[in-house]
A and B are shown apart, each in its own frame.
Chain A
Amino acid sequence: MIPVAFEYTRPSTVEDAVAVLAADPDAKVLAGGQSLLPVLRLRLAAPSTLVDLRDVESLHGVRVADGELVIGAMTTHAEILHDRRVAEHAPLIAAATATVGDRQVRHLGTFGGSLSHADPAGDLPAVALALSATMVAVGPGGRREIPAADFFVDYLTTALAPDEILAEVRVPDTAGWGYRYEKFSRMAQAWAVVAVAALVRRADGGVADTRVALTSMASRPVRATAVEQALTGTDGDSGAITAAAGHADEGTEPPDDVNGAADYRAHLARVLTRRALTAAAGA
């Protein structure tokens, strides 16, 4: 289909980009376009102006600062997959990114775009939640930090104001943690029906810390706190994992759509959580 006509601008600084957004409430940020363009082509949205961020140098790339991994919002999925720092400090991100769409999508789609789009079926929001990442937003009033737990508000809705840009994401170091992104999709290259992001830190033979976040089990990514509580403090054997995974769907409100009925998703969440934890806990 053909989108409704729009203006197009390609600023080279975050400030200029924010200025356009502040001046025009109907303007919208364009990153890799992998989610936005389909929406425009189906005429589900008709922004007045697209503010293309590709020329904003400061939004690209990965660095390590103050013991944290810092990922620029415009870093593409493909760049993340090939980045040594990501592999070292937050391998869960690389594991999940490898399952995103297909090669073409990964070469255009961006880390920041995926998080800002806040599709509950997207793979990276749950990962950011499990990692307790911090979103750094820039608006007319300057920078502010938003914890992942507060960032994802609802279906396709984040805590970003319309005139704010997600600039970068700060990710605590999880080197040494066991991890697994267990994704279940109908086709080889597709969105998740359900996926589970799991991190397990072992100490003294037992499970010292557990983080589990679920993709596509509610209108936003959710932490499976009951699972986390049930596993942390155990010795992390298969019995403990199976028992903990049984809580995976607690408090979730899974969607009911062509990709899967709610009861099937609840079942999958339990099975996939068990598998994810088994891998992450090295059991």
Chain B
Amino acid sequence: MSTTQEQEVGAARRRKEDAHLITGQTTWTDNIQLPGTVHAALLRSPMAHARIRVDVSAARDEPGVVAAYSGADLADELAGLPSAWQVTPDWVAPEHKPLAVDEARYAGDAIAVVVADTRAHAVDALDAIEVDYEPLPVVLDMEQAMADGSPLVHTDAGTNVCFRYADTFGDLDAAFADAPVRIRRRFVQQRLVACAMEPRSVLVAPVPAAGEYTVWSSTQIPHFVRLFLAMLSGVPESRIRVIAPDVGGGFGSKLDIYAEELLAFTLAKKLGRPVKWTETRSEAFQATVHGRDQIQDLELAADADGRIRGLRVDLLADMGAYLQLLTPAIPLLGRAMFPGIYKMDAYRFGCVGVFTDKTPTDAYRGAGRPEATFAIERMLDELAAELHVDPLEMRRRNWIGHEEFPYTQIAGLTYDSGNYEAATARATELFDYDGLRAEQARRREEHDPVQLGIGVSTYTEMCGLAPSRWLGERGYAGGGWEAATVRVLPTGKVEAVIGTSPHGQGHVTTFSQLVADTLGVPFDDVEVIHGDTAAAPAGLDTYGSRSLAVGGVAVWRAAQRVLGKAKTLAAHLLEVSEDDLEFSGGNFAVRGTPGAAKSIQEVAFAAFAAHSMPDGMEPTLSADFVLEPDDFSFPHGTHLCAVEVDTETGRVEIRSYVAVDDVGKVVNPMIVEGQVHGGLAQGIAQALHEVARYDADGNLTTGTMVDYTPPTAADLPSFVLDRTETPSTTNPLGVKGVGEAGTIASTPAVVNAVVDALRPFGVVDVPMPCTPENVWRALHEAQGGAA
């Protein structure tokens, strides 16, 4: 008993990752220097749609150039890039070559590559490439793209429609027929750019004589990169090792198989030398996948008291010019989330995926769920305003009561657990909801040029991607399990090998805490090994708030297996029955016999020496676990935002922001808070600041940090955070997920606040981002002014 240590799970442990990150001892892919490396630079189309004829021969004569190729030169050697989620049987999935062969389809589409001894030489030589661009008609707007006679992004496809999907639950006609209240709105989820701090980078080192390749890539998904490089190149998977070293953020944008990865691999194979490519920030804006970009047509039917009867959702989702790994699936990941936390009689979801001459879209923090949450939370506020009911009261009238869990909602998802009442009560208290409402009334009465608005978001989201069968039923090519190995080394130190691949989240710390508690070893004795297919061969990587809820459970299960084996061995060594042993603080002690005990470290050494093992027990103390998740988990929370809106200039200032999240059991509260902070920043960025804008010719006009305006700390308020804790019932740890919650919850909270401030002026919506200009224009238009 004397060696019992404090509980690790629940402790705000400092992150093990940070010391090397903040002292610059990092291994970003671009930092890796291998002798003989050559550097690739890409020529990208400046036109959004053009027939191209590319002649690279002059570039080959430039200083330092080793090779130069057009798309046509490599057409036979480069396979098309994969899209792994066939959302409908008749989807249109046009060929997507890493280098465009005869047509460029967005500004930034790569059309040629130069390889040189230095990066500077490679970039210089791009100027020597001769290209004939024959402009083709450009289509940028989804509704125009669907109209008859529209120019086509892919002529051969004969259509700009990628897929049409629809689902209806319940009796929609009955729900809408003679409903006393019907509200229709159109919301636009603007296009966003992830802006990960570290740009993409890839380095491929071949061993030509052995036909082996080591690939370093700034990716969220080293295991998928390995799989797809093998499938696309024909090189056996067993001869490809993929390493995701330190990765500086992804937010979904590095959940992809990129042209440059396949290109670098192919060039390394062709040239027999290490090939490196690192993205510039300008390229990151143009050629790394974008997020969101949906037009949402919504209609809600309700009773006179606000009880929701039905919801109709029709989406147009912009695919961009090509399908990347998960492009068409992203809007459909929101399919079942539009009902939010509310009960209703009927629900319809429809979605059309549309091609345009823009950068492809794909996952971006939340991936389909933020769009859904925004829509339903905005609609709840509209319903409340229509019926002159407080928006929190409107939610109470419709939400699932805490006694009703598990609750199968209208779209068929079973919410495991939750307590919306508790989170909301705590949030309103921290926020001083009533006090702010009183101040709002006063400012309205006084015609204060600076008005106060209060926004509510009572979100839920779906974490823990995903039961493999669920994925298979929906057309996804892969599974959703996760793998882990835990081994206690002869010295008693522990290695946890994980299949998820962190890029900022803090897995090393969190998983150390889980393992330390389970095995009763010190936190610092646990090493977490990840992001290298040679060291951690099995895994499905990190996205969809799955790492703890799926990967963490796998680690815990593997540790439990180790513990079980250790106990059997300890009993054998102590010559007692397992039932006589009590495990605590890392010690197996014989009950009632003081002094008769073995520590887990002693057991580990005994397992290594293997001098005396029970019959049939394998030496060493190690175990694997591959976890297939039972179901999703559904974190939730109540976010309240107060904004001050300067009605003269349109400027919005966030005055206070309270987030009470329920992410189930918390392993490390500091990491949870960090995830919420970052998530809020990104969600607020969508609400107020960011948009990828194109001009009429299809040029990205917000292609720098200066123009795209991601917020800095100076633009954000101090957040007030708290939690309620309702354990998940779909996994034994009771954990949910927190990676995306802040982003999902905050965008509607902020926009609801902006609209709330302006309702007395007749404003019912402000298009995102609610920049000063958009706010001013909405005000101006509501008051009948020509803006």
A contact set with B: CB distance below 8 Å: 1-2, 4-5, 42, 184, 186-191, 193, 257-261, 263-264, 267-268, 271-272
Q: For B709, what are the chain A residues with a Cβ–Cβ distance below 8 Å?
A: 186-187, 190
The residue that B124 contacts in the complex, of A5, A193, A257, A261, with Cβ under 8 A, is A5
Tell me the complex Cα distance, A4–B707, Å: 24
* A interface footprint on B769-786 (CB within 8 Å = 1, 0 otherwise): 001110011000000000
Interface assignment of B689: CB less than 8 Å from any CB of chain A: yes
Interface assignment of B282: CB less than 8 Å from any CB of chain A: yes
**Once the chains bind, are B714 and A5 in contact (CB under 8 Å)?**
no
Tell me the complex Cα distance, A103–B348, Å: 52
11 A-B contacts, Cβ less than 8 Å apart? A1-B280, A186-B709, A186-B771, A188-B715, A191-B706, A258-B702, A259-B707, A264-B776, A267-B776, A268-B649, A271-B649
Q: With a 10 A CB-CB cut-off, give which of B119, B120, B702 has the most chain A CB atoms.
A: B120
Interface assignment of B767: CB less than 8 Å from any CB of chain A: no
Shortest beta-carbon distance, B681 to chain A, in Å?
Answer: 13
Q: 14 extra interchain contacts, Cβ-Cβ under 8 A, other than A184-B772, A258-B707?
A: A1-B280, A2-B119, A2-B120, A42-B282, A188-B712, A188-B714, A188-B715, A189-B714, A191-B706, A258-B701, A261-B773, A263-B787, A264-B776, A264-B777
Tell me the complex Cα distance, A188–B652, Å: 12
Tell me the complex Cα distance, A63–B346, Å: 77
Q: For B771, what are the chain A residues with a Cβ–Cβ distance below 8 Å?
A: 186
Q: With a 10 A CB-CB cut-off, give which of B701, B702, B772 has the most chain A CB atoms.
A: B772
Within 8 A of A (CB), among B677-724: 689, 693, 701-702, 706-707, 709, 711-712, 714-715
**Once the chains bind, are A271 and B282 in contact (CB under 8 Å)?**
no
Shortest beta-carbon distance, A76 to chain B, in Å?
Answer: 21
Tell me the complex Cα distance, A37–B693, Å: 25
Shortest beta-carbon distance, B450 to chain A, in Å?
Answer: 13
Q: For A189, what are the chain B residues with a Cβ–Cβ distance below 8 Å?
A: 712, 714
Query: Closest residue to A189 on the B side, CB-wise?
Result: B714
Interface assignment of B524: CB less than 8 Å from any CB of chain A: no
**Once the chains bind, are A187 and B123 in contact (CB under 8 Å)?**
no
* A interface footprint on B396-427 (CB within 8 Å = 1, 0 otherwise): 00000000000000000000000000000000
Q: Say whether, besides A190-B709, A258-B707, A5 and B120 are in contact (CB < 8 Å).
A: yes
**Once the chains bind, are B119 and A187 in contact (CB under 8 Å)?**
no
Query: Closest residue to B773 on the A side, CB-wise?
Result: A264
B contact set with A: CB distance below 8 Å: 119-120, 123-124, 280, 282, 648-649, 651, 689, 693, 701-702, 706-707, 709, 711-712, 714-715, 771-773, 776-777, 787
Q: For A1, what are the chain B residues with a Cβ–Cβ distance below 8 Å?
A: 123, 280, 282
Shortest beta-carbon distance, A254 to chain B, in Å?
Answer: 12
The residue that A260 contacts in the complex, of B282, B693, B773, with Cβ under 8 A, is B773
Tell me the complex Cα distance, A264–B714, Å: 25
Tell me the complex Cα distance, A1–B787, Å: 39
Q: For B773, what are the chain A residues with a Cβ–Cβ distance below 8 Å?
A: 193, 260-261, 264
Shortest beta-carbon distance, A243 to chain B, in Å?
Answer: 17
**Once the chains bind, are A4 and B711 in contact (CB under 8 Å)?**
no
Query: Closest residue to B651 on the A side, CB-wise?
Result: A184
Q: For B776, what are the chain A residues with a Cβ–Cβ distance below 8 Å?
A: 264, 267
Q: For A42, what are the chain B residues with a Cβ–Cβ distance below 8 Å?
A: 282
**Once the chains bind, are B693 and A258 in contact (CB under 8 Å)?**
yes
Tell me the complex Cα distance, A268–B780, Å: 13
Query: Closest residue to A270 on the B side, CB-wise?
Result: B648
Q: For B712, what are the chain A residues with a Cβ–Cβ distance below 8 Å?
A: 187-189
Q: With a 10 A CB-CB cut-off, give which of A1, A190, A259, A264 has the most chain B CB atoms.
A: A264
Tell me the complex Cα distance, A215–B295, Å: 36
Q: For A271, what are the chain B residues with a Cβ–Cβ distance below 8 Å?
A: 648-649
Query: Closest residue to A1 on the B side, CB-wise?
Result: B280
Q: Say whether, besides A187-B689, A187-B709, A258-B702, A4 and B124 are in contact (CB < 8 Å).
A: yes
Shortest beta-carbon distance, A56 to chain B, in Å?
Answer: 29
Q: For A258, what are the chain B residues with a Cβ–Cβ distance below 8 Å?
A: 693, 701-702, 707
Shortest beta-carbon distance, B774 to chain A, in Å?
Answer: 10
Tell me the complex Cα distance, A184–B123, Å: 38
**Once the chains bind, are B649 and A190 in contact (CB under 8 Å)?**
no
Q: For A4, what are the chain B residues with a Cβ–Cβ distance below 8 Å?
A: 124
Shortest beta-carbon distance, B80 to chain A, in Å?
Answer: 29
**Once the chains bind, are B715 and A187 in contact (CB under 8 Å)?**
yes
Q: For A188, what are the chain B residues with a Cβ–Cβ distance below 8 Å?
A: 712, 714-715
Q: With a 10 A CB-CB cut-off, give which of A187, A191, A263 has the most chain B CB atoms.
A: A187
Tell me the complex Cα distance, A124–B355, Å: 45
Q: For A259, what are the chain B residues with a Cβ–Cβ distance below 8 Å?
A: 707
**Once the chains bind, are B120 and A186 in contact (CB under 8 Å)?**
no
Shortest beta-carbon distance, B780 to chain A, in Å?
Answer: 9
Q: For B648, what are the chain A residues with a Cβ–Cβ distance below 8 Å?
A: 271
Query: Closest residue to A191 on the B side, CB-wise?
Result: B706
Query: Closest residue to B716 on the A side, CB-wise?
Result: A188
Q: 9 tightest CB-CB pairs across the interface, nearest first?
A: A188-B714, A188-B715, A264-B773, A2-B123, A1-B280, A271-B648, A2-B120, A258-B707, A258-B701
Tell me the complex Cα distance, A126–B248, Å: 40
**Once the chains bind, are A186 and B689 in contact (CB under 8 Å)?**
yes
Tell me the complex Cα distance, A159–B706, Å: 28
Query: Closest residue to B777 on the A side, CB-wise?
Result: A264
Tell me the complex Cα distance, A105–B334, Å: 42
Tell me the complex Cα distance, A51–B282, Å: 27
Shortest beta-carbon distance, A186 to chain B, in Å?
Answer: 6
Query: Closest residue to B118 on the A side, CB-wise?
Result: A2
Q: For A263, what are the chain B residues with a Cβ–Cβ distance below 8 Å?
A: 787
Tell me the complex Cα distance, A69–B693, Å: 44
Tell me the complex Cα distance, A190–B715, Å: 11
Tell me the complex Cα distance, A122–B106, Å: 33
Q: For A272, what are the chain B residues with a Cβ–Cβ distance below 8 Å?
A: 649
Tell me the complex Cα distance, A259–B702, Å: 10
Tell me the complex Cα distance, A45–B773, Å: 32
Query: Closest residue to B772 on the A side, CB-wise?
Result: A186
Tell me the complex Cα distance, A258–B693, Å: 8
Query: Closest residue to A101 on the B side, CB-wise?
Result: B706
Shortest beta-carbon distance, A108 to chain B, in Å?
Answer: 16
Q: For B702, what are the chain A residues with a Cβ–Cβ distance below 8 Å?
A: 258
Tell me the complex Cα distance, A42–B119, Å: 15
Query: Closest residue to A261 on the B side, CB-wise?
Result: B773
Q: With a 10 A CB-CB cut-off, give which of A187, A189, A258, A261 has the most chain B CB atoms.
A: A258
Q: For B124, what are the chain A residues with a Cβ–Cβ distance below 8 Å?
A: 2, 4-5
Shortest beta-carbon distance, A228 to chain B, in Å?
Answer: 22
Tell me the complex Cα distance, A184–B31, Å: 40
Q: For A184, what are the chain B residues with a Cβ–Cβ distance below 8 Å?
A: 649, 651, 772
Tell me the complex Cα distance, A256–B123, Å: 33
Q: For A261, what are the chain B residues with a Cβ–Cβ distance below 8 Å?
A: 773
The residue that A190 contacts in the complex, of B120, B701, B706, B787, with Cβ under 8 A, is B706
Tell me the complex Cα distance, A187–B649, Å: 14
Shortest beta-carbon distance, A69 to chain B, in Å?
Answer: 30
Q: With a 10 A CB-CB cut-off, give which of A2, A188, A263 has the most chain B CB atoms.
A: A2
Query: Closest residue to B650 on the A side, CB-wise?
Result: A264
Query: Closest residue to B282 on the A side, CB-wise?
Result: A1
Shortest beta-carbon distance, B77 to chain A, in Å?
Answer: 28
Tell me the complex Cα distance, A77–B532, Å: 47
Tell me the complex Cα distance, A1–B286, Å: 14
Q: For B772, what are the chain A residues with a Cβ–Cβ distance below 8 Å?
A: 184, 186, 193
Tell me the complex Cα distance, A268–B648, Å: 8
Tell me the complex Cα distance, A52–B776, Å: 44
Tell me the complex Cα distance, A193–B707, Å: 11
Q: For A267, what are the chain B residues with a Cβ–Cβ distance below 8 Å?
A: 776
Query: Closest residue to B780 on the A side, CB-wise?
Result: A267
Tell me the complex Cα distance, A260–B709, Å: 13
Tell me the complex Cα distance, A73–B648, Å: 37
Shortest beta-carbon distance, A265 to chain B, in Å?
Answer: 9
Shortest beta-carbon distance, A15 to chain B, in Å?
Answer: 33
